[in-house]
A and B are shown apart, each in its own frame.
Chain A
Amino acid sequence: MIEPSRRPVFLDLTKIAMPVGALTSIGHRISGIVLAASAPLAVYVLALSLRDASGWAQAAALFAQPVFEAAVAISAWALAHHVLGGVRHLLTDFGIGASLRVARRSAWFVNLGGLVLALAAATAVL
């Protein structure tokens, strides 16, 4: 029988010093969930904008609502991070950037790029 390990288990995620790639990975999952959660709202706005001229005007007016603006800003971050992280995954699938040094650099690029793109989208749309 295998003896259970006596090594101490420490899993306080708020205190563990995570490598940058771990933050990219967690961010990829969180952004995916955020995008899935915002999908019904996005489809609603699409339906509204294509319904008729007054629907189009209503959809445009939504972008002046603070709550909607906040949802757009959060979704913009989620989309930017998820797409950048997704492309990083696809490149890694082909062995591009799979070495630790490059992977760490691209992880920083995704984490910061997601925030920069979200900020750019927020200032452009809002």
Chain B
Amino acid sequence: MKLRLSGPSAWWAQRLSAVLMLLFATFVATSLVAHPVAGYGQWRDWVAAPGVSLAFVVFFGALLVHMWVGLRDVVLDYAKPSLRLALLGVVALGLLGLGAWLLVILLRLRA
């Protein structure tokens, strides 16, 4: 994936990640309606199931890409040019931190 998302590639990344998140939401909703989880054990086992964990990884990836494109647009639209780079750096660091946290959450289930 291109790291510098801008122009048409940002537009595509925004749309593709949106569709992936819609698919994930549909998957989670239908799955939990069909098999409701009651209590910690069932919740943990459901998220830890390989297929579900994979769906979460795809969702988290799409979420971070989508947040990057959207927050980048907000910064570029409203921040003074002198502040843009610093703010984009803050957003990027925040998203990387969020991604690392999400990875830890999923990896702890396998430990």
Contact = CB atoms under 8 A, between A and B. Distances in A.
Contact of A39 (B22, B41, B67, B105): B67
Contacts, number: 45
Q: Interface extent on B, as a size class?
A: 20 to 34
Given A50-B109, A53-B40, A90 B71 contact: no
In terms of DSSP, what is the predominant structure of the interface of chain B?
helix
Interface string B61-102: 001000100110010000000000000000000000010011
A36 B25 CA distance: 17
Interface residues of A, number: 22
Contact of A86 (B18, B67, B101, B109): B18
Interface string B44-68: 1001000000000000000100010
Given A46-B105, A49-B40, A57-B40, 9 more contacts: A33-B71, A39-B63, A40-B98, A50-B43, A50-B47, A50-B105, A56-B40, A83-B22, A93-B15
